[in-house]
Amino acid sequence: MVSVNTVTGKVDSKQLGCTLVHEHLLLRSDSVAIQFPHLYDDQSNFLKAVEQVKAVKSQGVHTICDPTVMGIGRDIRFMERVAHETEMKIIAATGIYSYNDIPPIFQNRDINYLADVFIRDIEVGIQNTSIKAGFLKCTADAAGITEDLDKVFRAIARAQKVTGVPIMTHSHPESSNGLKQMDIFEDEGVDPKFIMIGHCGDTDNIDYITQILKRGAFIGMDRYGQAPLPYEKRNTTLIELIKKGFANRMFLSQDYCCSFDWFPPEHEFFKTYPKWSMTFLLDEVVPQLLNTGVTEEQVRTMMYDNVRCWFEGTYELPTIDRVIKEPNSI
C-alpha cells in the first residue's frame, strides 16, 4: 500500500477502487486560454465536467486519473472544484504535453532543472497551491521522440525515481514509438512496473503491443470511443491479449475530454464516434466484453487492481493460465 495524491488530499492506494485511468475534465491550449479567455465559457465547461463525473460516479467509478498537464490547459483549481462538487477522487498529473518542442526556458536548461519542476508539483504543490500531482505524464506522437521530447522523457524518468509516483505516456503505435519510450525509461533506470505506455489500443498490432508488455510496462487500452479504431476492433485486440495472460497489465479508459477546444463542434472528429463520452466504457464496452467471454474477475483486474498496482509499482500474478470462458458458459 502507498499513499496517493488526489486533488482533495492523500488516499491509500487500496482505496482507489474502480478507476478510469485516462480522462480529461478540461482540455484546451493553455496559452490561448490565458491570452484570449473570451473564447472560453468557464461556467459551461465546469458544468460539463460535473455532469460527466457525476454520471460515471453513478456507474460505480470511484477514481479518475486526469493526465492534463502543461500544453493542454491544466487548471488545478478547476479540477479541485469538480472534485468537491462531485465528491469523486481525482488524481492530477505533472508533465508536458507536446508532440515536438518545449519552451526555451526548458530548452536552454538541463534535464535536472526540468525534473525539479515536476518533483515540486508532486512534493510541494501545483500552480502555487498545496494540491499535489499523483503521477507523471509525457508525450510523443508521429514526429517521434525529438531532442526536446527526449529531455522531457528523461526528466520524467528522474522525477519518477525521486518521488516514486508512476508514469503515463501518450504514444503513437503507428510508428511503434512506445518501444522508444521504453528505451529511454530503461536507460534512466525506471522500474517498468511504474510505467504505462498509453494509447496502445490504437493499434491491432498484437506483436508490437506484446513487445511492450514483455518489457514489463502496463499499457493503456484507453481510447474507447475514439478514432482510429471502432470499439469492437479494440475489444478484439484486448481479448487476444487477455488470452495471452495480460489482463493484469492493461487499463480501460476513454481519453474523453469534457470540453475540448482543438476542433469546432461541427468538426468530423466529433461525428465519427458520436458515442464518445465518459460513460461509454461502462455503458457499452464492458457489457460487450462480458458477453464475449471476458470474466468479471478480468474486468475487475483491469479496472480496480491494476491502478493500485501501478501506483505501488507491482503487478498481480500473471493470468496466463486463466482461460476466457466460452460465451455460452456465462
Cβ 22 to Zn ion shortest distance, Å: 6
Cβ 255 to Zn ion shortest distance, Å: 4
Question: Given the complex with Zn ion, which of 202 and 255 has the nearer CB atom?
Answer: 255
Cβ 330 to Zn ion shortest distance, Å: 33
Contact 49, 77 (CB under 8 A): no
SS3 8: coil
Question: Given the complex with Zn ion, which of 141 and 255 has the nearer CB atom?
Answer: 255
Question: Given the complex with Zn ion, which of 237 and 254 has the nearer CB atom?
Answer: 254
Is 141 one of the binding residues for Zn ion (CB under 5 A)? Answer: no
Q: Which of residues 203-262 bind Zn ion (CB under 5 A)?
A: 255
Cβ 323 to Zn ion shortest distance, Å: 33
What is the DSSP code string of 151-173?
HHHHHHHHHHHHH---EEEE--G
Contact 149, 140 (CB under 8 A): yes
Dist CA 114 CA 317 (whole Å): 35
Q: Please, which residues have CB within 8 angstroms of residue 265's CB and are 6 or more apart in sequence?
A: none
Axis-axis angle for helices 76-86, 42-58 (nearest 10) = 40
Q: Which of residues 251-270 bind Zn ion (CB under 5 A)?
A: 255
Q: Which of residues 290-319 bind Zn ion (CB under 5 A)?
A: none
Cβ 21 to Zn ion shortest distance, Å: 10
Nearest residue to 156 (alpha-carbon basis) of 193, 127, 109, 190 = 190
Question: Given the complex with Zn ion, which of 30 and 312 has the nearer CB atom?
Answer: 30
* DSSP strand pairing (250-252 vs 89-96): unpaired
Question: Given the complex with Zn ion, which of 259 and 298 has the nearer CB atom?
Answer: 259
Cβ 24 to Zn ion shortest distance, Å: 6
Dist CA 257 CA 239 (whole Å): 26
Q: How many residues bind Zn ion (CB under 5 A)?
A: 1
By the criterion CB under 5 A, which residues form the site for Zn ion? Answer: 255
